[in-house]
């Protein structure tokens, strides 16, 4: 923790008190929570960003969207629209936000909607599609006005809640006590070589209850890059290129590229960054090929055609079938 963040620790104590009181009010049913007959499955986190929610939602849709009628409800962070909106052929990054738009393009059988108020969003989806088998809620763990049927909590391996504190000194949206609400916890972005002994030690530090299911996953990088052209990643990285990232944590990607002995110039922007004309000019100024993430690609591609992206997916270190069975049982 740097000096500036340490100086903010008194504010973190105040923030912690406020969020604890708020959570207690919902836990004791002093504040109203909406419930729905349709299964509502939250994919959320305690940390402010970079936990891997979008790849996990993509994994769930890949596994279950052919068998069930599914919808995804997101807040639509940084979108330029307002209220409740269902994705259709006229939708764009501006109306949906980058992550919902990315998933909407990848999964045409799934309904996507954005709404800041999750309960209103669920009502809107059910009004249009009452036959839905389940609704996945992107980043709804702190939306306590909704009482979901099942909650999946993600925590990145390198930045777990037991090494962090609440905002603004730390990166947690609420104290680590919030983990108790989760039905299932996934530790994301683990080293693929993580030993059984290391997992056991890590599990003990998470402090979960016996009835909370726990899984470990890593990032699986595609063997190809896509976009301007499709080619093998190992061939692409043989020449210098510009890497452009606008995500919460680019370290796993840069570490992976470093393992491949890639030579690149990294232009790093903030999460959900909107690329300005000067940004785009800077990206192209070197004349080198451009590689980016799939999320950044949907924001760059309308303006820069000669850009490639590297997809990622979720890989379970163990017990993947058990995970799929648990989720399948939650979908009606």
pLDDT by residue (tens digit) across 236-246? 999 999 999 99
- 189 contacts 218 by C-beta, under 8 angstroms: yes
Give yes or no for residue 253 having a pLDDT over 90.
Answer: yes
Average pLDDT rounded to a whole number, residues 280-309: 95
Average pLDDT rounded to a whole number, residues 121-128: 98
Average pLDDT, the chain: 96
* pLDDT confidence bin for 70, thresholds 50/70/90: very high
Give yes or no for residue 213 having a pLDDT over 90.
Answer: yes
User: Looking at residue 17, what is its pLDDT?
Assistant: 97
* pLDDT confidence bin for 332, thresholds 50/70/90: confident
pTM recorded for the entire structure: 0.95
Provide CB contacts within 8 A for 276, sequence distance 6+.
Answer: none
CA-based nearest residue to 116, from 104, 105, 124: 124
Rounded CA separation 57/137 (Å): 9
Average pLDDT rounded to a whole number, residues 154-181: 97
pLDDT, one tens digit per residue, over 319-331 is: 999 999 999 999 9
User: Looking at residue 238, what is its pLDDT?
Assistant: 97
CA-based nearest residue to 126, from 37, 186, 202, 59: 37
User: Looking at residue 18, what is its pLDDT?
Assistant: 97
- 300 contacts 102 by C-beta, under 8 angstroms: no
Give yes or no for residue 89 having a pLDDT over 90.
Answer: yes
Using a 10 angstrom Cβ sphere, with 0-12 exposed, 13-18 middle and 19 or more buried, the burial of residue 182 is buried
- Across 1-10, 210-219, 278-287, 319-328, least confident range: 1-10
User: Looking at residue 139, what is its pLDDT?
Assistant: 94
* pLDDT confidence bin for 1, thresholds 50/70/90: low
CA-based nearest residue to 53, from 119, 152, 144: 152
Provide CB contacts within 8 A for 108, sequence distance 6+.
Answer: none
pLDDT, one tens digit per residue, over 92-116 is: 999 999 999 999 999 999 999 999 9
Name the residue with tokens 């639509």.
Answer: 76
Rounded CA separation 166/173 (Å): 6
């Amino acid at each position: 923790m740097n000096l500036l963040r340490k100086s903010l620790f008194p504010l973190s104590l105040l923030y912690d008190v406020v969020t604890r009181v708020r959570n207690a009010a919902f836990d004791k049913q002093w504040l109203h929570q909406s419930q729905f007959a349709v299964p509502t499955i939250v994919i959320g986190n305690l940390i402010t960003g970079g936990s891997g929610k979008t790849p996990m939602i993509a994994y769930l849709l890949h596994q279950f969207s052919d068998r069930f009628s599914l919808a995804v409800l997101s807040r639509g962070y940084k979108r330029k629209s307002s209220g409740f909106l269902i994705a259709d052929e006229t939708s764009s990054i501006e109306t949906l936000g980058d992550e919902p738009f990315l998933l909407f393009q990848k999964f045409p059988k799934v309904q996507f909607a954005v709404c800041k108020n999750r309960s209103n969003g669920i009502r809107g989806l059910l009004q249009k599609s009452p036959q839905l088998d389940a609704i996945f809620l992107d980043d709804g763990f702190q939306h306590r006005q909704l009482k979901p049927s099942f909650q999946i909590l993600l925590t990145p391996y390198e930045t777990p809640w037991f090494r962090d504190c609440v905002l603004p000194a730390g990166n947690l949206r609420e104290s680590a006590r919030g983990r108790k609400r989760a039905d299932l916890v996934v530790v994301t972005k683990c080293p693929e070589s993580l030993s059984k002994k290391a997992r056991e030690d890590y599990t003990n530090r998470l402090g979960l209850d016996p009835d909370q299911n726990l899984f470990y996953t890593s990032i699986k990088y595609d063997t190809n890059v896509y976009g301007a052209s499709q080619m093998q990643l190992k061939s692409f990285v043989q020449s210098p290129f510009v890497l452009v990232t606008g995500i919460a944590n680019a370290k796993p990607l840069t570490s992976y590229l470093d393992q491949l002995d890639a030579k690149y110039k990294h232009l790093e922007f903030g999460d959900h960054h909107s690329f300005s004309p000067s940004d785009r000019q800077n990206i192209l100024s070197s004349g080198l090929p451009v590689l980016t993430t799939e999320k950044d690609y949907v924001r760059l591609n309308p303006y820069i055609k000669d850009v490639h992206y590297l997809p990622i997916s979720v890989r379970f270190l163990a017990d993947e079938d058990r995970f799929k069975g648990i989720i399948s049982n939650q979908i009606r």
